Structure 1
């Protein structure tokens, strides 16, 4: 006999499935309920950027809450994420000069909302990263964009999530002088990219840590002093490092690097090459020095010689350097943690690689 006390839930499910089946887009999932957008909020977010392929099948889905799809749309990924209660969100990037015009901005927002609906996705991650002068038309347009796209997604896809990527500090890093206070107000999450922290080197042109601990944590202090809601802030960490060819390696182990200017700074990490954690774990074993540790920057590094006899210095993050960062997330009550990007670990069946990969996932929850 039907229990009428469950009528509201039954009607909600019935109406949702009716709308789903009646939609022009056919659900690609084995079970149609997996095409329903996720509406449940998580107290703690583990936010993963995915750049395509099938590495996602090896992610630690017991802790993943949101995946930002920066590769080709994969309906299988969407179905799996929804099956475990995790969100899959779009990538959003637009040339800011184009959306100063209200009509262009409205059209772009509609395009993204329609795409999210078409692909049964749960929101959007705004990854702009363009230089903006405070008080410029682009400055105002960017803030308006965040407000308007949040309103559009929330009204048309109930429970959807709008996140915005910011540099490691609000101090106009890379000339990104955004209206951080209002962007933080209008978005659901601020993903702080606590990496590429040598994108502008103002002092000596030398190889340094990708995300030095003290500098990284100081960035969060700056955001929180602006009264940005800490329960909206995600700490972003790197699952990659930088390989710097040394112009000279001093007796003290300091690696001088080529001067590659970036947005006003005379030097930058563009003198190096980004390398995935999977490559780093193999390279360190055949390096000249083995793993070394910098007590000031609280980061590991090593030196190696290439096939042409040139010395390189590699700086990266591993569980030891990530541990105090993950603990700071808990201590300061941030909303969660995430990484660029989930594909950069070694997911093969080698026992050593499996252990290394498991440690990188596990450290996200603190240590």
Structure 2
């Protein structure tokens, strides 16, 4: 019996060479054979420091990534709920075949004891970048200042081990504001040294700490401005910051009696509250009060990407709409905050205004449009509006040169047109004056017997 068990284990190692290598030598063992049909596609893409904007897209593989406009992005991050899962290499091979970076998104922040194993997985999966979520550990709300040292030790212990043993760029997914606890921002300074870049989590903008339980935009523009400014003040450079942009919104179920506020002039949708069975504290019932909706589902019309019956909040730079169902005393009101051309353009402009590293789209799969019948319409409308092509040419000098050439060509065209009009006018005048008889001034005002029909015909 023992021989059979040993034989089975031996065969398992024999047919799982990559697993064996990771167990025996998790960090420094050789990588398995390249899974791509073209072996060159296993080579890393190292264009992080080329000075151009990073345009990243997160995917959970729920849409056909081959329909994406790959020329408009730089990196694809595969959502990975379980770092120990066996991911297919298909996306990595395809991304590298397009000359784009591949990486994955680790949802749960690894413990220091797991850091070595995580580093091995990153290397074995040939990731060019890896995004590690720290939001849940850091928290969106305030912590007591006495926990700062503990937070620093925990995060730095894990990140330093991972960073030391990988060649990939380490991206930290963090709240929209730098983690500061009762004016102590030592955590931010420590993470600025460990993280190659920071991704602002879109979900962190939409949390409820001490705020009222009301429907609100997924990302408020005022928070974008405040967050970027505070991260720079906390020791991060603009080249380390990546703005997370949601291509989704939320439909909120409002409470009876909700109405337009006289002060703001906007409809206020109050959410239901639930009481915690253990602490007895009331919190906003987000799970029961809101429904996540992709932009394609909400907008409902391509390429306008906007609703005619929506209202645009100038303060938040986001559109919203209010709907209702039922009649009489059974009316139920709903409020939907979403993204459209105006709100997305403002966010893209912020990337260039603050000269930060780039953007991360949450997510590429949210671009799926329910009513699109053909891949051409999907490609040309939903993806082309992402403006990635513009952002990916983030070299200001290159854009300036391109615009100057365009302006020169336009100027030459206008000049030739005006010159043609002028020459045409001059030639016409010359021809006209040659064929016409000249008369003395006021000749026809002299009403004499010499006035004839021939003279009238010359008028």
If the length of structure 1 is used for normalisation, what is the TM-score?
0.78
Confirm or deny that 1:198 pairs with 2:206.
yes
Q: Give yes or no for contact 2:180–2:186 (8 Å, CA) kept in 1.
A: yes
- Paired with 1:364 and 1:207, the residues of 2 have a C-alpha distance of 33
- CA-CA distance at 1:27 after TM superposition: 1.9
Confirm or deny that 1:210 pairs with 2:218.
yes
- Paired with 1:88 and 1:129, the residues of 2 have a C-alpha distance of 22
- Paired with 2:209 and 2:115, the residues of 1 have a C-alpha distance of 36
Q: How does 1:23-38 map to 2 (within 5 A)?
A: 25-38=32-45
- Paired with 1:115 and 1:150, the residues of 2 have a C-alpha distance of 13
- Paired with 2:307 and 2:199, the residues of 1 have a C-alpha distance of 36
Q: How does 1:223-238 map to 2 (within 5 A)?
A: 223-238=231-246
Q: In structure 2, do the counterparts of structure 1 residues 231 and 188 end up closer, same or farther at CA, with 3 Å as the change threshold?
A: same
Q: Give yes or no for contact 1:199–1:268 (8 Å, CA) kept in 2.
A: no
Q: Give yes or no for contact 2:72–2:389 (8 Å, CA) kept in 1.
A: no
Q: In structure 2, do the counterparts of structure 1 residues 115 and 222 end up closer, same or farther at CA, with 3 Å as the change threshold?
A: same
- CA-CA distance at 1:337 after TM superposition: 0.9
Q: How does 1:312-351 map to 2 (within 5 A)?
A: 312-346=334-368, 348-350=372-374
Give the match for residue 79 of structure 1. 93
Confirm or deny that 1:127 pairs with 2:133.
yes
User: CA deviation digits over 1:69-118, x for unaligned, max 9?
Assistant: 1157332211111112211113334466x43xxxx1xxx23322322333
Q: Give yes or no for contact 1:289–1:302 (8 Å, CA) kept in 2.
A: no
- Paired with 1:199 and 1:364, the residues of 2 have a C-alpha distance of 32
- Paired with 2:107 and 2:315, the residues of 1 have a C-alpha distance of 36
Give the match for residue 5 of structure 1. none
Alignment gaps of 5+ in structure 1 = 1-21, 155-159
- CA-CA distance at 1:259 after TM superposition: 2.5
Range that drifts further, 248-257 or 127-136: 127-136
Specify the SS of the correspondent of 1:40. Answer: coil
Q: In structure 2, do the counterparts of structure 1 residues 49 and 357 end up closer, same or farther at CA, with 3 Å as the change threshold?
A: same
Bigger Rg, structure 1 or 2 = 2
Q: In structure 2, do the counterparts of structure 1 residues 162 and 288 end up closer, same or farther at CA, with 3 Å as the change threshold?
A: closer
Among 111, 114, 118, the residue aligned to 2:124: 118
Alignment gaps of 5+ in structure 2 = 1-28, 81-85, 262-266, 395-459
- CA-CA distance at 1:138 after TM superposition: 4.0
Confirm or deny that 1:58 pairs with 2:67.
yes
Confirm or deny that 1:70 pairs with 2:74.
no
- Paired with 2:240 and 2:109, the residues of 1 have a C-alpha distance of 25
- Paired with 2:340 and 2:389, the residues of 1 have a C-alpha distance of 11
Give the match for residue 11 of structure 1. none
Specify the SS of the correspondent of 1:48. Answer: strand
Give the match for residue 152 of structure 1. 165
Range that drifts further, 82-91 or 264-273: 264-273
Give the match for residue 189 of structure 2. 181
Specify the SS of the correspondent of 2:365. Answer: helix
Among 258, 272, 295, the residue aligned to 2:290: 272
Give the match for residue 13 of structure 1. none
Q: Give yes or no for contact 2:95–2:101 (8 Å, CA) kept in 1.
A: yes
- Paired with 1:148 and 1:128, the residues of 2 have a C-alpha distance of 16
Q: In structure 2, do the counterparts of structure 1 residues 143 and 57 end up closer, same or farther at CA, with 3 Å as the change threshold?
A: same
Specify the SS of the correspondent of 2:166. Answer: helix
- Paired with 1:353 and 1:178, the residues of 2 have a C-alpha distance of 46
- Paired with 2:275 and 2:41, the residues of 1 have a C-alpha distance of 48
- Paired with 2:260 and 2:321, the residues of 1 have a C-alpha distance of 14
